[in-house]
A and B are shown apart, each in its own frame.
Chain A
């Protein structure tokens, strides 16, 4: 970070510090033309953007227009006062996790994962569980000392829990990608309620993940951890093995 930056008043950067320059792209349901450009401009002014300019607009057909615009943001945020709850554990790489298991747990760690409810998108759970992993980060199936079971997508919560009970799993990993009308929230709370009803909550580590999940939300939902974008198998694995030791689940 530049030393000239006042972290209590952070503004967007365009060409020079604190010029507030921002780029926008959006669509309005109005026909292409000068009136459309003017509508887009007025909208930006209402958003508190100074000197808005519509630099590009395109007819999307059927009476819709797409815009690219620039403008100056007048607002600032106090970066120094921001505190985002994060998974508070030292992230080890694959080999670090494997050594940790060998040294402290001395048995296989069982992790069951699925994309639950109506959600059919395996991309998240596969990135964490599958052997090949994602973006150069191997998945849990490849870890020595971890038995990883990926049940796939559209798995009902009760089947995921039944599997975890059958295998005496240490952790359950739930992925939720589809979030329309907050369907993921109800699916995630249903999972917790079932686990409590089964009397399992103290015996199992519960993790949720997905593009709209974060650690703070995980707390509200009743999970032990929440992993958002840019987290990989080693994040999940580091958290699970540490919890097993901290919670005396060895």
Chain B
């Protein structure tokens, strides 16, 4: 059971998907059922929109969400009124979404519900805290489409990744994409104490910082479009570059084109949700000797799979699951659709 890996270990977990229709909501429902059986009070919210019958983007049927008595939910005003479950209002927050203010409620009488919580990470964090104050043992943040930033350790303590046949008609391609995403989530953490100490300050001040014999903050506000500037700032004695924001392919590409110093420098980002490099570019950078590490790795609890795609094709259940499990080694792979 999933819940056994979670209770008493984590306070807030996220469910993120590789794509739409990867099975996030089915995973969520399974978790809600398990939590109910284990008498764990859940606080539930979503950065996207969940529980509506028809998908807004693809117009396909979506699973509904059933909440039990005592569950806390954070959803938008308009959906709060439409819910089939009976809810007691605990707090009306100041968080605005295009669907109204976010309301936190407690389920008095079980039933179906639609969830559209805050869309911003900062608001997700404070909503999670509020729900814990109202008595939730575990807060679950459901994802939206292919958004993964809620998996950031600064937002949630642990993550479940949902993936499926929807990624590609070719099973090998679908597996490769998922294995790469898991590898990013498990990216090696820098253990260098001095780097970590400097990183704290760099993040607080939002400073791109080069570490060598001296520590130097660069005079740029973002690494986006600034790969050349970063490359030029690397010297013979440089050992690491700290990026408080994102790392995209172009930044790395421009950095390595500028000079050869990148070969003895570790690029340090906060966590894997800041990395926007696709698989092929990553392999290329690896071959050139680019080293990328994180300050915080993501606690990936499990990968859930949906072997059927909404386009109508499907993978062989067993071989899909077994192959993925083979590459992911110790990580549990759960077929939520069976």
Chain A complexes with chain B: yes
Whether A199 pairs with B245 at a CB distance below 8 angstroms is yes
A202 adjacent to B120 (CB under 8 Å): yes
- B149 adjacent to A225 (CB under 8 Å): no
Q: Considering only CB atoms, which chain A residue lies closest to B155 in the complex? A: A196
A156 to B225, CA, bound (A): 11
Measured between C-beta atoms, what is the minimum distance from A163 to chain B in Å?
Answer: 8
A215 to B100 Cα, complex, angstroms: 11
Q: Report the nearest A residue to B149, measured CB to CB.
A: A196
* Interfacial chain B residues near A6, Cβ < 8 Å: none
Contact of B206 with A by CB under 8 A: yes
Which of B140-148, B175-183, B293-301, B323-331 is near enough to bind chain A?
B140-148
Contact indicator B225/A158 (Cβ below 8 Å):
yes
Residues 75-115 of A contacting B (Cβ, < 8 Å): 83, 85, 87
Known: A192-B147, A199-B244. A220 touches B224 (CB 8 A): no
**A85-B78, A158-B248, A165-B224 are contacts. A219–B147 as well, Cβ < 8 Å?**
no
Cβ B116 vs Cβ A219 within 8 A = yes
Cβ contact of A222, chosen from B47, B56, B99, cutoff 8 A: B47
Q: Cβ of B258 < 8 Å from any Cβ of A? A: no
A162 to B254, CA, bound (A): 15
The answer to whether B224 touches A185, judged by C-beta atoms less than 8 angstroms apart, is: no
Interface residue? B122 (CB, 8 A)? yes
Q: How large is the interface on A (under 10, 10 to 19, 20 to 34, 35 or more residues)?
A: 35 or more
Counting contact residues on chain B (CB < 8 A from A), the size range is: 35 or more
Partner of B273 from A85, A197, A226 at Cβ < 8 Å: A197
The secondary structure that dominates the A interface is helix
A222 near B248 with CB under 8 A, answer no
The verdict on A185 contacting B57 (CB below 8 Å), with A165-B224, A190-B276 known, is yes
A216 to B55, CA, bound (A): 12
A232 and B144 alpha carbons, distance in the complex (Å): 28
Closest A residue to B123 by beta carbon equals A202
By a CB distance below 8 angstroms, the chain B residues around A218 are 98
Q: Which residues of B contact A186 (CB under 8 A)?
A: 145-146
Q: Evaluate contact between B145 and A189: CB separation under 8 angstroms.
A: yes
B121 A194 Cβ-Cβ under 8 A: no
A175 to chain B, nearest CB (A): 17
**Cβ contacts under 8 Å, B206 to chain A:** 199
Measured CB to CB, the closest approach of chain A to B161, in angstroms, equals 15
Q: A218-B98, A219-B119 are in contact. Are A162 and B145 (CB under 8 A)?
A: no
Query: Could you tell me the distance between the alpha carbons of A201 and B121 in the complex, rounded to whole angstroms?
Result: 8
A-B contact pairs, 7 of them (CB 8 A): A159-B224, A165-B222, A192-B149, A194-B224, A215-B99, A221-B48, A223-B98
A interface residues (Cβ-Cβ under 8 A, vs B) = 83, 85, 87, 156, 158-159, 161-162, 165-166, 182, 185-186, 189-190, 192-194, 196-199, 201-202, 215-226, 246
Extra A-B contacts (11), CB below 8 Å, given A165-B222, A196-B273: A162-B226, A166-B221, A186-B145, A193-B147, A194-B246, A197-B149, A201-B122, A202-B120, A216-B98, A222-B120, A226-B98
